[in-house]
Chain A
Amino acid sequence: MKELSLNILDIAENSVKAGAGLTQILIDEKDQVLTLSIIDDGCGMEPEVVRSVVDPFYTTRTTRKVGMGVPLLKLACEQADGKLTIESVTAKQDPEHHGTKVEATFHTDHIDFTPLGDVVSSITTLIQGHPDTDFLFRHTKDGKEVSVDTRQLRQILEDVPLSSWDVIQWIDSFLREQYDDFNTVT
């Protein structure tokens, strides 16, 4: 992918497919290291599945449920001297606290670092496509933060669906305004 934002979209779609009620998309930048975490409370994966999702042939041969998303994210972070880790707890292992955490690190000063790209569009696309599940997005860097939490929006909006055009437009400008401050060097 030319932009990490597209990888984010891919991985978060897996979370939704795993039946997540809440998918957290967290980006933290510190000392030239970008950490991307996608954490869901979906059904989780058995250990042998966790091992096999990084293998592109697991997905292309036996099931298309996961796609090339994980192998390509792994490649993107390893090309930038980072690494990918996946932790998962199935609903069978722990009915209370289950789900999957995909964490990828990148050295942002590496020449092959894939730029983050238009992450706002990825977030609004996810919300628009899955208005009945919740997303928490947070990007932090140098004490600054950009965030949106659909659980809070849902409370304010009451019966208005999150996928309605006006709401999506609002979320888009809400995030872009936050990024204006975020990207301002003080």
Chain B
Amino acid sequence: MKVGDLPGHGFKALALPDPDRSIDGVYIGDLLSWVMGRAQMDNAWITIMSNNNVIAVASLADCSCVLLAEGVELPEDLIELANQKFINVLTSEKSAYEIAVLLSGLLS
């Protein structure tokens, strides 16, 4: 599936500069240094962290998108940064677990 399909499944797009990126796996984590070494290319990365390092780690790990759980939002300057760095960021009211369950269904 593509990142651009997610708004149709209840996600709110905060930055969607690259909607055609495909999602072929999921990584969940909030400790950025840990995620940096473990998230795989084309993973949707679920986190509750929202600072500029998140955009950097998503870029380094080449994640297809950042999915902010539990209604976490991005400040305006970080939305701008995400667009500028070509990083898709979406948010959902769901918990990380519920997002993972939803994606599990969508990806299979």
A interface, CB within 8 angstroms of B: 1-2, 6, 55-57, 60, 68, 71-72, 75
B60 touches A60 (CB 8 A): yes
Min CB distance, A110 to chain B, in Å? 16
State the majority secondary structure of interface residues on B: helix
Could you say which residues of chain B place their CB within 8 Å of the CB of A72? 32-33, 53
Could you say which residues of chain B place their CB within 8 Å of the CB of A1? 31, 33-34
Would you mind naming 13 contact pairs between A and B with Cβ atoms under 8 Å apart? A1-B31, A2-B34, A56-B53, A56-B55, A57-B59, A57-B85, A60-B56, A60-B60, A68-B33, A68-B53, A68-B60, A72-B53, A75-B51
- Which residue in A6, A55, A57, A68 is a CB contact (below 8 Å) of B36? A68
Closest chain A residue, CB of each to CB of B52: A56
Q: How far is the CA of A72 from the CA of B51 in the complex (A)?
A: 11
B33 touches A57 (CB 8 A): no
Q: How far is the CA of A6 from the CA of B52 in the complex (A)?
A: 21
Q: How far is the CA of A6 from the CA of B36 in the complex (A)?
A: 14
Q: How far is the CA of A2 from the CA of B31 in the complex (A)?
A: 8
A75 touches B32 (CB 8 A): yes
Could you say which residues of chain B place their CB within 8 Å of the CB of A55? 52
Min CB distance, B28 to chain A, in Å? 16
Q: A57-B85, A75-B51 are in contact. Are A68 and B56 (CB under 8 A)?
A: yes
Min CB distance, B49 to chain A, in Å? 9
Q: How far is the CA of A2 from the CA of B57 in the complex (A)?
A: 16
Min CB distance, A7 to chain B, in Å? 8
Could you say which residues of chain B place their CB within 8 Å of the CB of A68? 32-33, 36, 53, 56-57, 60
Could you say which residues of chain A place their CB within 8 Å of the CB of B53? 56, 68, 71-72, 75
Could you say which residues of chain A place their CB within 8 Å of the CB of B81? 57
Closest chain B residue, CB of each to CB of A56: B56
Q: How far is the CA of A56 from the CA of B58 in the complex (A)?
A: 11
- Which residue in B32, B33, B55, B59 is a CB contact (below 8 Å) of A6? B33
Could you say which residues of chain A place their CB within 8 Å of the CB of B55? 56-57
- Which residue in B32, B51, B59 is a CB contact (below 8 Å) of A60? B59
